Chains A and B, each alone.
Chain A
Amino acid sequence: MNWSRRQTLQTAGGIGLHGALAAIGLVPAAALAQAQAFDHAVFQAKTMADAIKALGAGAPAESKDVMINSPDIAENGAVVPVGIRSAIPNTDFMALLVDKNPNALAGAYRILEGAEADVNMRIKMGQSSDVVAIVRADGKYYMAKKEIKVTLGGCGG
């Protein structure tokens, strides 16, 4: 049990519940030791620009070494397979943002030692939109952008 860690998490993120959970061991201690606190408030950012700012990414440079692997046209917006891959050495953080979703950030990944900067997931998209991958390597931010057309939205009931 690491109390200073707990306090850090709670004060840093305003995510007290999460911090408390982590401290009582619901999240493996090994992960905590390596992962710094991640502020889940970033997920509240409404627009792409706000989300990039909240991630602290500043003005990421567009890079050919960041790849978004997804279909150009997604038939079902509830399940859009998207992969992000970075060929930049020392990539330690990747995030995927969807411009026109109610909250821009879809997922963020901390790449620890041993893992490759190559992650695939399935996301929801409310409508056709640009998706942006943000990658951090050696403290610098890079990005790639791709438009995905959605024929059936994923947020409706």
Chain B
Amino acid sequence: MADPMRIRATVKEGVADVRVLMAHEMETGQRKDASGKVIPAWHISEVTASLNGKAVLVAYWGPAISKNPFLQFKVKGAKAGDKVTVSWVDNKGDKRTDEATVS
């Protein structure tokens, strides 16, 4: 299981600003190791964000997203105390879900 995500969600005038930092290697599949073999791609392929259980954003990612990916998005109609849930799945099938409370 991968390391937990860091999620910060702050609300201002009804719009929640959600910032997520995920821990992932995000190997591109372009690099070669010392013996010249290509290191296979390993990256988060899909991220789903929900507010109070209702999906608001789905991200589809390729290997061009930076290592330990950062994602920021905004959700309308949020208030303090709402639950933000973020889950990702990588191309090896590993997954992670974390939750934070809007403040």
Contacts and interface: CB of A to CB of B under 8 A. Distances in A.
A17 B89 CA distance: 11
A27 B64 CA distance: 22
A40 interface: yes
- Chain B interface residue bracket vs A: 35 or more
A98 interface: yes
Interface string A146-157: 000000001111
Nearest to B30: A155
Prevailing SS type, chain B contact patch: strand
Contact of A30 (B55, B65, B74): B55
Interface in A25-78: 26-28, 30-31, 34-35, 38, 40, 43, 78
A107 B74 contact: no
Which 4 pairs between the two chains have the least Cβ-Cβ distance? Answer: A120-B72, A43-B62, A106-B64, A122-B66
B66 A124 contact: yes
A122 B70 contact: yes
- Chain A interface residue bracket vs B: 35 or more
A157 B32 contact: yes
A38 to B, nearest CB: 5
Contacts of A111: 57
A138 interface: no
B101 interface: no
A130 interface: no
Given A31-B58, A43-B63, A119-B59, 19 more contacts: A26-B89, A26-B95, A30-B55, A43-B60, A81-B70, A102-B28, A106-B61, A106-B64, A107-B59, A109-B57, A112-B56, A112-B57, A112-B58, A115-B49, A121-B66, A121-B70, A124-B28, A155-B28, A157-B32
Given A108-B60, A116-B73, A120-B73, A31 B31 contact: no
A100 to B, nearest CB: 11
A109 B56 CA distance: 10
B12 to A, nearest CB: 12
